[in-house]
Structure 1
Amino acid sequence: MSVPDRVAVVGGGWAGCAAAVELARARCRVTLVESARALGGRARGVEVGGRMLDNGQHILLGAYEDTLRLLLEVGIDPDAALLRLPVQMRYPFPEEGGGMDFVAPSWPAPFHLLAALLRAKGLARADKMALARFNSAAKWMGWVLYTDCSVQELLDRFDQTPRLNRLLWHPLCIAALNTPPERASAKVFLAVLRDSLGARRRAASDMLLPRLDMGSLFPQAAARYVESRGGSVRLGVKAEALVRGEDGWQLTLNGRPEAFDAVVLATPASVSAALLAPHPKTAVLSEQLGGFGYEPIATCYLQYDPSLRLELPFYALLDDPAQGRWGQFAFDRGQLDAKQPGLLAVVVSAAGDAAGLGQEALAAAIAAQLAQDLRRPQLAAPQWSRVITEKRATFSCTPGLARPGNETGLPGVLLAGDYTASDYPATLETAVRSGIAAATAIASSDTLTREKRSLSHAGGPGTSTSVQ
């Protein structure tokens, strides 16, 4: 294979953008192509009625070290771009039995969680003892489960109370894995808890709420970073075929063949499967990529009078689809972005049933739920509403699910995506880590090392770590 100088990154989601940034930092000539008209994939900004919203409301964790590092790399200050809150699960009016109020103080770990447990409202002594028992047992296990099972089976094994399951474990499972606890992987769930609630650094458990739309938070800055280092970003370009060329790989982009030394496939698993299918070496991998199940996420935006402001930036909500209660978390966007006063965003994860409703019916049900839970009758009548549903938001994170690595078996062709092998579910951090791993595999090759030596001897450009 020739020197992997010309590298194509196919797919402009967070995994593809992370790969492109790392490759550009390693002085590769990067071509980032995205079939849509905007970068970000399943975590992007969308224009609705002349305003920029997200295709889904996200929460990041302080444990997302690679994501936070790349934000700094591309010139985004996490302290300014993200609202940092201590780990919490706060329902409206917990003192009346409808929920709980669990919020950690800014104490060193693990004392912050102990204090949160002791101070928690809405939990009986039996609930608190069950939570302490779970935490102790998980620590003793090293947060590792060698034989996977469902999250619900794990909770039953640790004798968790029905109320604790209802108010804490089930919402956390659905929010983190986007898979109902009856079908979700306990092994992956424990990994998320290990690096957040079980982390030795208190800051790792912090919840980070984006103040910027998801496109501005990272993908657009990543594009500027790549272009500032001689790369190119091309939108509305579809990769139609991948074939072995005389000198590397040939990608057919919008009907036009182009040559590259290496390729990162950061497209959805099904798209990567189609590109790899013609190659005999990747027949098994292609079948595996095409076999994932998926879960939707719906985000309902409701606009009220700009004077509306909730007491907290976000609340947990008690969902009950049988009773028409779909909302799981409600966010006051006005407390995150001063340009969005009076705008609430309500998230419905694992939204298979909710996705079957019409937009108007779902929005009306969520508005009624907010009015009841927050005891503000005016919330039942928003000025306007919009439901954005990502039908394939994440893969179904089920027990024992086999996920492929970055290597495809084709030299110089790597996979990147939140579905690749990881002990995390399909999160932004998983996508970023996968992109970094794919880029590192290319940038660490012997041929690229030789090229770097030649560039150095020729007085080539140095590596900058900031974007102007």
Structure 2
Amino acid sequence: MTAQNTAVVVGGGLAGVTAALELADAGLRVTLLEGRPRLGGLAFSFRRGDLTVDNGQHVYLRCCTAYRWFLDRIDGTELAPIQDRLDVPVLDVGHAKGPRLGRLRRGALPVPLHLAGALACYPHLSPAERVAVGRAALALRRLDPADPALDGIDFGTWLGRYGQSARAIEALWDLVGIATLNATADRSSLGLAAMVFKTGLLSERGAADIGWARVPLGDLHDTLARKALDAAGVRTELRTRVTAVSRTEEGNWRVDTADESLHAATVVLAVPQGEAHGLLPQGVLDDRDKLLDIDTAPILNVHVVYDRKVLRQPFFAALGSPVQWVFDRTEASGLTDGGQYLALSQSAAQQDIDEPVTVLREKYLPELERLLPAARGAKVRDFFVTRERTATFAPTPGVGRLRPAARTDAPGFYLAGSWTATGWPATMEGAVRSGITAAHAALAALGRPRENPLQEAA
């Protein structure tokens, strides 16, 4: 096999695995290098006693066509099913008249009327606020998320222009936005927010239906992904950190690790932006220091194991509480003795990310008892937290001009990762899209174009 048919992918997260699979499926000889002892990047599992624990709760939507393609490619679709129809319980414990439960459900009418019934009955907004939300949604639908001008405006300011009250932002726009963007409206680019709401809620009737893994994430992103890579002929090296990437005199690329040097015509660098900055050879990007201006945002996950069942729904969102989203992870974790394991997903967690576990326990256990009356008499068997301090790139206004394209200024060198210019926020969907884009840019340059899953989904 000639040098032109060789590729090295640096990074074994979703972006790197995707790129490696696409390049190998096109007939290239691919080596995937990952510094961790596992694949999956920031969507992984670990053992805690008898439980298998996800580092954080990850969900996707029906509109996430690239991630759905990825699940299908690794034979994992049945393990991460999607709701038949969007249905989100929203519990408000801050209401003056006591706890109030509402639901965000979609109906059978065409877009945008598919959400009209849910909005009309949504108890967490006044009638006037519901009307104002409808008007803002129609205005949002007219925006073009790709318009560079939107990138410099914060979503909160735009919502204010369209008459959205603080309550409407809390009970609807931030309810969705914090979970998908990892930032509040006032700290989010209007371009990214428009993309999320247009694609997820205002494109197709079922676009926002929610899917999540009913097994540990490691079963998908590590075990099944490794099986798919092996079947595709990819050489996968774990616990292998890349120390340098350089151009050879022959015009190819040299990738150095502690144990060997690999030579390839194509390199896909699929690591976080800070790490990418340190590995980029000269001449690959015109202004490589822009990568350091892409800020990061944390996500905190609080894990609580009770001695009995305290939640009878698979998940819910909360208002009037520091708790954001609560998921039942009992079955997925392997807990079978009658207890229940709940995972609290806390996005935009700047205030809590460095708090001691004792402080977080004192904060969140009473909140769960407020939200779930059955928890008041239950014994807490285990309480722990997982922290991802750099979980996502921060979707701040202006971030769009900092995100680089997959194709660089150097032939044969490509970038992948959710922080690249995918048009999406930092999600599993964005990561997979970046890997597909990088791989197909490389194949086109090699004169070996193949059918692109993103075009097929479109």
Cα distance between partner residues in 2 of 1:395 and 1:89:
26
Which residue of structure 2 aligns with residue 129 of structure 1? 131
Give how far 1:223 is off: 1.9
Q: TM (normalized to structure 2)?
A: 0.89
Which residue type is aligned with residue 70 of structure 1? F
Distance 1:85 1:374 in 2: 26
Structure 2 counterpart of 1:84: 83
Aligned to 2:116, which of 109, 114, 117?
114
1:333 Cα deviation (Å)? 1.4
TM-score normalised by structure 1 residue count: 0.88
Decide whether aligned partners of structure 1 residues 242 and 151 sit closer, same or farther in structure 2, where only a CA change above 3 A counts: same
Matches within 5 A, 1:54-93: 54-77=54-77, 79-84=78-83, 86-92=85-91
1:197-208 equivalence runs, <5 A = 197-200=201-204, 202-208=205-211
1:171 corresponds in structure 2 to 175
Indicate how the Cα distance of structure 1 residues 379 and 31 shifts in structure 2: closer, same or farther if over 3 A, else same. Answer: farther
Q: Quick one: percent identity of the two aligned structures?
A: 30
- Given that 1:178 and 1:397 are in contact with CA atoms closer than 8 Å, whether structure 2 keeps it comes out as yes
Please point out which of 326, 331, 354 is paired with 2:327: 331
CA contact under 8 A between 1:363 and 1:387: conserved in structure 2? no
Q: Which residue of 2 aligns with 1:290?
A: 292
SS of the residue aligned with 1:422? coil
Stretches of structure 2 lacking an aligned partner (at least 5 in a row)? 451-458
Q: Find the aligned partners of 2:36 and 2:29 in 1 and give their Cα distance.
A: 22
Aligned to 2:12, the other structure's residue is in SS state: coil
After TM superposition, give the deviation of residue 256 of structure 1 in Å. 2.0
**Equivalent residue for 1:236?**
239
Q: What's 1:351 paired with?
A: 349
1:397 is aligned to 2:400:
no
In 2, distance between residues paired with 1:91 and 1:161?
18
Give how far 1:342 is off.
0.3
Residue aligning to 1:459: none
Q: How is 1:4-403 mapped onto 2 (pairs within 5 angstroms)? A: 4-77=4-77, 79-84=78-83, 86-92=85-91, 96=97, 98=99, 101-110=102-111, 111-141=113-143, 146-147=149-150, 148-200=152-204, 202-247=205-250, 248-276=252-280, 278-279=281-282, 281-282=283-284, 284-305=286-307, 307-318=308-319, 326-334=322-330, 339=335, 342-378=340-376, 381-401=379-399, 402=401, 403=403
What are the Cα deviations for residues 169-195 of structure 1, in whole angstroms up to 9, with x where unaligned?
122221111122221111101101111
Greater mean deviation of Cα atoms: 355-364 or 432-441: 355-364
Do the aligned partners of 1:285 and 1:404 also contact (CA within 8 Å) in 2?
Answer: no
> Aligned equivalents of 2:178 and 2:259: distance in 1?
41
Distance in 2 between residues matched to 1:25 and 1:377, nearest whole Å: 50
Q: Separation in 2 of the partners of 1:379 and 1:432? A: 43
Separation (CA, whole Å) in 1 of partners of 2:206 and 2:377: 34
CA contact (8 A) 1:371 1:380 kept: no
For 2:287 and 2:54, the matched residues in 1 are separated by: 32
Give the letter for the 2:323 counterpart.
G
Please give the per-residue CA displacement for 1:134-180, whole angstroms capped at 9, x wherever unaligned: 11222233567633311210110110122211211122221111122
> In 2, are the aligned partners of 1:297 and 1:351 still within 8 Å (CA)?
yes
Gaps of 5+ in 1: 320-324, 453-468
Structure 1 residue 88: Cα displacement: 4.2
CA distance in 1, matches of 2:145, 2:246: 43
> How much has 1:25 moved relative to structure 2?
1.4
Compared CA separation, residues 405 and 361, structure 1 to 2 (3 A): same
Give me the whole-angstrom Cα distance separating, in 2, the residues matched to 1:434 and 1:68: 14
Answer with 378-387 or 139-148: which moved more: 139-148
1:89: Cα distance to partner? 4.2
Report the number of matched residues. Answer: 439
Is the CA contact 1:14–1:432 (under 8 Å) kept in the aligned structure 2? yes
Give the Cα–Cα distance (whole angstroms) in 2 for the partners of residues 414 and 4 of structure 1: 15
Q: Contact 1:285/1:408 (CA < 8 Å) preserved in 2?
A: no
* Residue 100 of structure 1, CA deviation: 5.3
| Aligned-pair CA distance for 1:238 | 0.3
Answer yes or no: is the 8 Å Cα contact 1:185–1:399 preserved in 2: yes
2:211 alignment partner AA:
L
